[in-house]
C-alpha cells in the first residue's frame, strides 16, 4: 500500500492537531508581547500628534504630554489585536489545509475500486 493510499499517514503540509495547539500557544504568547510593545510605540506617536494639535509642550526629555496614557491604551489594543489577527490567519490556513487533505483522502478512497 503506497503512502498516497494510506489515510493513516498525515500530509507534511498539515500539522497534527496536537502540534497546532502548541504552535497556537507559542504564536499567541509571542505576538502578545510584540503587540503590546508595538502598540505602545504607536500610541506614543499618536500622543505626539495629539500634543501637536492641542499645542501641548511636553517636559524636557519626554516624548509627549501624558505619553503614558497613550502608551497604555496602545499597548492594550496591540496586545489583543496582534495575537487575534495572527491566530485568525493560522486557523484559516489550517482549515484550508484540512479541506485539501480531506478531499485528497476521499479521492484516494474512491479510486480504490
- Domain ranges in the chain are 22-98
Instruction: Say whether pLDDT at 31 is over 60.
Output: yes
Instruction: Say whether pLDDT at 108 is over 80.
Output: no
pLDDT band at 14 (very low <50, low <70, confident <90, very high): low
Specify the DSSP class assigned to residue 90: H
3-class secondary structure per residue, 24-79: HHHHHHHHHHHHHHHHHHHHHHHHHHHHHHHCCCCCCCCCCCCHHHHHHHHHHHHH
Q: What's the mean pLDDT in 45-52?
A: 94
**Which pTM does this prediction carry?**
0.71
Per-residue model confidence (pLDDT) at position 49: 95
Share of the chain above pLDDT 90, in %: 51
Q: Which is more confident, 94 or 106?
A: 94
Amino acid at each position: 500500500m503506497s503512502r498516497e493510499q494510506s489515510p493513516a499517514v498525515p500530509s507534511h503540509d498539515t500539522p497534527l492537531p496536537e502540534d497546532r495547539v502548541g504552535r497556537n500557544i507559542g504564536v499567541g504568547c509571542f505576538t502578545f508581547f510584540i503587540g503590546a510593545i508595538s502598540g505602545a510605540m504607536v500610541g506614543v506617536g499618536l500622543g505626539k500628534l495629539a500634543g501637536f494639535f492641542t499645542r501641548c509642550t511636553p517636559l524636557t526629555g519626554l516624548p509627549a504630554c501624558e505619553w503614558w496614557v497613550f502608551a497604555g491604551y496602545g499597548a492594550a489594543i496591540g496586545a489583543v489585536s496582534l495575537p487575534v489577527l495572527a491566530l485568525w490567519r493560522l486557523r484559516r490556513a489550517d482549515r484550508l489545509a484540512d479541506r485539501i487533505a480531506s478531499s485528497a483522502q476521499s479521492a484516494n478512497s474512491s479510486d480504490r475500486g
